[in-house]
Amino acid sequence: MLSALFRKPQTPEPTAIHESAAPPNPAAWPDSYRKELLDRVAEHGAVLVGGLDLRGAADAETVVRKLTDRPVRETEGFAPRETRGEGLYSSATWPANQPMCMHHELSYARRCPRLLLFACLEPPTGGGATALADAAAVLEALPADLVERFEEEGWLLERSYNGEIGATLPQAFGTEDRGAVDAYCRTHDIETAWQPDGTLRTRQRRAAVVRHPVSGLRCWFNQIAFLNEWTMAPEVREFLIEEYGPNGLPFTTRYGGGDPVPRDVVERINEAYEGATVRRPWRAGDLMIVDNLRTAHGREAYTGPRDVLVAMAEPIDPVDPPSPDRPSRRTES
């Protein structure tokens, strides 16, 4: 079954899922079916293929190879993953009882995947859906002055690699050698500040709104709300501030000029995501293909086991962010 999860972005409300037949054996898919799938992803932002016999990582690898020859190796991940095959990863490690808020994968990196492929090997007992939201609809729902400020300034991601909470240096950069990490960060426009205790703090400025390279749609493309301290559970935020201090959080976000993003702004962004979100419970063998620029994704809390693998593909350079020193149109005469 092939399911378009979105119609065109001018549709004001999330739409119902539409299903159609699909070849059951990925190994036998002709090239024409690959084109059909990717054309539908380009049109709708995401598609769901059901009725496949995906029993293990090898089956998921077969699907990935059928659909793309440009895999993306994850770097700068915010949470650990297990490598489950060539270009294939487990879902990011995240507490099962906490939802993972809407975001675009690696939207803070200089090169991010344009396509995500999710393969469900074992669905959870309850919850655990991978929710999706149309990024153009999210942008449309946000206040114009808020969008304008983020377009002018971009957004900042601040991270602290403390070796205890979040990804470690080897998990994020593939090494803990200080020289190699510094070299990577220079190449990828990331500021580094090594602390006396040997921990690393980084800062990177990125664009908050990008234009899709194929459709030309303007999309809200970032992780401003998801990686902000106000999205954390209150008790978690309080513990982390007490443990590491307000400047040592594993991650948080700011306006591109350095000002904190207030709690009410984070809540407004999450409300816009919720208004543009569709959810579909996983079934064993389901395959979901997502346009990472066009479509944000998240994960519901769940119970029981959950084995959903992810592959990232089609690397692309996001648009360079604006300079925070550029005069704002709000203050120009």
Angle formed at CA 134 by CA 87 and CA 78, multiple of 5 degrees? 40
Q: CATH assignment of 138-269?
A: 3.60.130.10
CB atoms within 10 A of CB 283: 13
Give the pLDDT confidence score for residue 104 in this predicted structure: 96
Per-residue confidence at 210, pLDDT binned at 50, 70, 90? very high
CB atoms within 10 A of CB 21: 9
- Give CA–CA dist 306/321, Å, rounded: 37
Give the pLDDT confidence score for residue 68 in this predicted structure: 92
Q: What single letter denotes the amino acid at residue 297?
A: H
Q: Tell me 231's DSSP state.
A: G
Per-residue confidence at 22, pLDDT binned at 50, 70, 90? low
- Give CA–CA dist 136/271, Å, rounded: 14
Give CA separation, 106 vs 37, 58, 112, 223, 229, in Å: 23, 25, 5, 8, 18
If 0-12 CB within 10 Å is exposed, 13-18 middle and 19+ buried, where does residue 42 land? middle
Q: What is the pLDDT of residues 257-285, one digit of tens each?
A: 999 999 999 999 999 999 999 988 999 99
Judged against a pLDDT cut of 80, whether residue 20 lies above it is answered with no
Judged against a pLDDT cut of 50, whether residue 17 lies above it is answered with no
Q: How many residues does the chain have?
A: 333
Q: Tell me 110's DSSP state.
A: S
Angle formed at CA 120 by CA 2 and CA 51, multiple of 5 degrees? 35
**Token output for 297:** 């994704």
Judged against a pLDDT cut of 70, whether residue 190 lies above it is answered with yes
Q: Are 66 and 29 in contact (CB under 8 A)?
A: yes
Q: What percent of the chain has pLDDT over 70?
A: 89
Q: What single letter denotes the amino acid at residue 215?
A: S
Q: What is the pLDDT of residues 146-189, one digit of tens each?
A: 999 999 999 999 999 988 888 899 999 999 999 999 999 999 99
Q: What is the pLDDT of residues 86-125, one digit of tens each?
A: 889 999 888 899 889 999 999 999 999 999 999 999 999 9
Q: What is the pLDDT of residues 60-88, one digit of tens each?
A: 999 999 999 899 988 999 888 999 988 89
Give the pLDDT confidence score for residue 233 in this predicted structure: 86
Mean pLDDT of the chain: 87
Per-residue confidence at 43, pLDDT binned at 50, 70, 90? confident
Do β-strands 2-4 and 88-90 pair in parallel, antiparallel, or remain unpaired?
unpaired
Q: Which residue has the higher pLDDT, 30 or 319?
A: 30
- Give CA–CA dist 50/68, Å, rounded: 19
CATH for the 2-127+280-315 domain, from 3.40.50.300, 3.40.1080.10, 3.60.130.10, 3.40.50.1820? 3.60.130.10
| DSSP symbols for 173-230 | HS---HHHHHHHHHHTT-EEEE-TTS-EEEEEEE-SEEE-TTT--EEE---TTTTSGG
Residues forming CATH 3.60.130.10 domain(s) in the chain: 2-127+280-315, 138-269
Per-residue confidence at 321, pLDDT binned at 50, 70, 90? low
Angle formed at CA 204 by CA 160 and CA 112, multiple of 5 degrees? 105
Q: What is the pLDDT of residues 292-313, one digit of tens each?
A: 999 999 999 999 999 999 999 9
- Give CA–CA dist 91/123, Å, rounded: 13
Give the pLDDT confidence score for residue 9 in this predicted structure: 36
Question: Average pLDDT of 17-34?
Answer: 70
Per-residue confidence at 328, pLDDT binned at 50, 70, 90? very low
Give the pLDDT confidence score for residue 12 in this predicted structure: 36
Please give the model's pTM, rounded to 2 decimal places.
0.88
Q: Are 117 and 269 in contact (CB under 8 A)?
A: no
